[in-house]
Structure 1
Amino acid sequence: MTLSEDRVGMDPITFCDASMNLTYLGVKVSPWLGVNISEVGSHLEQVLRRVGELRLKPFQKLTLINKFLIPHFVHQLVISIPSRALLRKLDTSIRAWVKEYLHLPASTSNGILYATNRDGGLGVPVLEDLVGRVALRAGVKYLLSEDPAIRAMATHSVLQGKLEKLADSLGVKWPCSLTDLKRVRKQQKSNILRAWAAQKVQGATVDIFKGDSVGNSFLRQPSLLKPTRFKTALQFRTDTAATRASLRRAKIVKPGEDTCRKCGETQETLGHVLNKCRSMHERIIKRHDDIVKILSSESLRQDQLTTEEAMLGLTGENLKPDLIVLSQEAVFVVDVTVCYEHKGFVGMARQNKIARYTELQRQLKSRFNVTHGEVIPVVIGSRGAMPAETIKGLKKIRLASKGLLKTLSLSALRGSLELYHSFMDR
């Protein structure tokens, strides 16, 4: 490249011939051919490889990708509006490298990568969707601009043709509105969850964790877990942890050889390991008791009466709920259970607690001479789920602050993670 003798102040004016490119705002531009993104694929692959070589924790690499690298490439891609085939190719590279960073099997559902944190995913942007929305949003703003030159640019045949094609691929008609684009974004998020939930095994808990900001808190703040535990927690969500049932699905273990390696009583599924295996009984009890201690300590701090006094039920059995809370002319029987998140299990655990303690609650109501009484089942998922009914119940006894709910969820999840690793390491 040569410099002309012309200058603006002390700065020389740079020019190039038809075979050269100028770099402007991070984008290569040819005076004759326009924006040049022919090298974007190889550039992205190179950057992703370099990220993999950095001495960072896996979730730090994920943060680097989500917050910095993808926005950098989106800038180039929006300006050029490339083909959807290219965007899909770039998405494939990003997926492969993110799974590599997090030590996830290649077969791990893409849903956990693309779903938002609140819905149980890692929030990795889908370039195919994101670039389209951002480009159309810019087009809408051009059309609404007060500058006639900008408006004229938006209606230019070449740009308008690209925007029309892009809008059609997203299911809207050009020109569209910002409201249309918000609807598209909502639909794209819904499509991701629907496709993930349709997977028989890896998508079995999607509906349970959808919208669970408490149970999904570790996805928004990965530092809440140790790096190795964070990886395992992701495997929990997709049921790809190395149980024999999971290995059989991957054809690593032969059919009939997936019996629990510890108790030998039934198939070694994740649910069995986390909630049923006799060899893990002490750790299962400890996980439960840790949650009870947290609730008891917080209840005592608020000067609410707590006790674990045993009483006779209708059948003559001793009933000993985890907590009895007396507050504002009401008595509450509070009992904790850590339940494996599977369709129907959470609701069933809740109903079992209510049936078990309803008569005891009536006795306590009479004993303490209060006008109101209720059984509060504290059902928490062994993988951290915090059901809406559990939060509703805890609010009645003033034990539902955001910090406390997150602590309860993480206590259950951490207990399950330690239990699982103990099971595998023995």
Structure 2
Amino acid sequence: MRKLIEVARSEDAIVAGLANALNLENKAIEIGENANLPVPIGTKRAHEKWRKRHKDNWKSQPSQGRGVMCYRFREGNRWLRNKSLMTENEYLWALKVRANVVPTRVTMARGTIGMNTNCRKCKEYPETTGHISGHCRAMKDLRLIRHDRVCISLTKAAEAAGYRIMEEPMCKFGLEKLKPDFILCSGEGTPCYVLDPTIVWDDSPNRLRKAWEGKVKKHTPLKPLLKQKYNPSTVQVYGFVCGAWGTWCPKNDEVVKILGLSKGRVRDILQKVLCDTIRIKAFMNH
């Protein structure tokens, strides 16, 4: 196919004229597209079509294609282009996590009958990557470490932005109690922000969005209490949702503006989340 295109683009006027009359280049590109072959260098239109076809094929996979639509945020993919950000072992495990091919019991049982797929630790639920990373009791300590590392990054940003930080305050109103991760305030007459980070298994953009909305709904009842206690100009409630695969919820953008987070800081947060997620390899080794 590459040779045909080179002939079609020949500097020889006679050869180029003949190729043009035969529509040689377009026919070569069409052959490649129909065969799902890699596109030759220099054929931008064909290259874009091939990339789209490859992505659509990836999305259509019932298991390996889950979460593909969450990968559009560039800062969450920086590690793919810069392997020096991880060790070789971490990089390979990150690829396994992203492709959902970690050798869990559910993954290894595909195509077989009668194989036990329950979690080898808790014995209660199917052993999927999502269960190990987000729910299994055996991984609770690692999940707390992952969550706390995100909180530390946000705390440093809030301090640099000049906010007074109240970490995990117990807020009581009536018979109810709520404990968000942060309340940020600069003093009377200034905005007050309730911020509650979380990390979810990111197999779809809707899961990220729903997690963000859930955090906002949970802590919105604190608004009257904080208004009375701190006399701010306004009280705003935000979630801060990262995907376990190092993906990003677009609704976090407002928090980025409030805290003045740079792209580099966001990239570091997402990479830490992904690196902490791939610690599930310790689970697989026991």
Is the partner of 1:380 in helix, strand or coil?
strand
Contact 1:314 1:359 in 2 (8 A): no
- Paired position in structure 1 for 2:90: 229
- Paired position in structure 1 for 2:16: 154
Equivalences for 1:35-114 in 2 at 5 Å?
78=2, 80-81=3-4
Equivalences for 1:268-287 in 2 at 5 Å?
268-287=127-146
* Matched letter for residue 301 of structure 1: A
- Paired position in structure 1 for 2:249: 387
- Paired position in structure 2 for 1:353: 215
| From 227, 234, 238, the counterpart of 1:372 | 234
The alignment status of 1:301 with 2:160, answered yes or no, reads yes
The structure 1 segments of at least 4 consecutive aligned residues displaced by more than 6 Å after TM superposition are: none
- Paired position in structure 2 for 1:196: 58
- Paired position in structure 1 for 2:176: 316
Is the partner of 1:155 in helix, strand or coil?
helix
Contact 1:243 1:268 in 2 (8 A): yes
Is the partner of 2:240 in helix, strand or coil?
strand
Equivalences for 1:151-300 in 2 at 5 Å?
151-157=13-19, 160=22, 162-169=24-31, 182-209=44-71, 211-249=72-110, 251=112, 254-300=113-159
Q: CA deviation at 1:169?
A: 3.6
* Matched letter for residue 316 of structure 1: E
Q: Aligned residues, how many?
A: 273
Q: Structure 2: how far apart are the matches of 1:369 and 1:204?
A: 45
Q: Structure 1: how far apart are the matches of 2:244 and 2:278?
A: 9
Q: CA deviation at 1:182?
A: 4.5
- Paired position in structure 1 for 2:40: none
Q: 1:255 to 1:373 in 2, by over 3 A?
A: farther
Q: Which has the greater radius of gyration? A: 1
- Report the more deviating stretch, 337-346 or 200-209: 337-346
| From 312, 333, 338, the counterpart of 2:199 | 338
* Matched letter for residue 223 of structure 1: S
* Matched letter for residue 132 of structure 2: V
Whose relative contact order is higher, 1 or 2, with alpha carbons under 8 Å and at least 6 apart?
A: 2
Is the partner of 1:385 in helix, strand or coil?
coil
Q: CA deviation at 1:351?
A: 1.6
Q: Structure 2: how far apart are the matches of 1:315 and 1:160?
A: 81
Structure 1 unaligned segments of length 5 or more: list them: 1-76, 82-131, 143-148, 172-180
Q: Structure 2: how far apart are the matches of 1:157 and 1:279?
A: 65
Q: Deviations over 1:112-170 (max 9, x none)?
A: xxxxxxxxxxxxxxxxxxxx6xx59x83xx6xxxxxx7444411359956325224446
Is the partner of 1:215 in helix, strand or coil?
helix
| From 401, 407, 415, the counterpart of 2:268 | 407
Q: Deviations over 1:250-300 (max 9, x none)?
A: 53xx53501100111111010000010001111111110111011102211
- Report the more deviating stretch, 232-241 or 298-307: 298-307
Equivalences for 1:12-51 in 2 at 5 Å?
none
Q: Structure 2: how far apart are the matches of 1:157 and 1:352?
A: 61
Q: 1:314 to 1:412 in 2, by over 3 A?
A: farther
* Matched letter for residue 380 of structure 1: C
Is the partner of 2:236 in helix, strand or coil?
strand
Q: Structure 2: how far apart are the matches of 1:170 and 1:234?
A: 28
Q: CA deviation at 1:188?
A: 2.5
Q: Deviations over 1:201-226 (max 9, x none)?
A: 110111121x2212211111122111
Q: TM-score, length-normalised on structure 1?
A: 0.59
Is the partner of 1:291 in helix, strand or coil?
helix
Contact 2:219 2:237 in 1 (8 A): yes
Q: Deviations over 1:311-367 (max 9, x none)?
A: 1156512x2211112258211111110100123322221121011111213422343
Q: Structure 1: how far apart are the matches of 2:66 and 2:118?
A: 22
Is the partner of 1:397 in helix, strand or coil?
helix
Contact 1:154 1:160 in 2 (8 A): no
Q: 1:157 to 1:282 in 2, by over 3 A?
A: closer
Q: 1:239 to 1:157 in 2, by over 3 A?
A: closer
Root-mean-square deviation (CA, aligned residues, Å) is: 2.5
The alignment status of 1:423 with 2:283, answered yes or no, reads yes
Contact 2:183 2:193 in 1 (8 A): yes
- Report the more deviating stretch, 162-171 or 349-358: 162-171
- Paired position in structure 1 for 2:39: none
* Matched letter for residue 351 of structure 1: E
Percent identity of equivalent pairs: 25
Contact 2:161 2:260 in 1 (8 A): no
* Matched letter for residue 298 of structure 1: A
Q: 1:267 to 1:167 in 2, by over 3 A?
A: closer
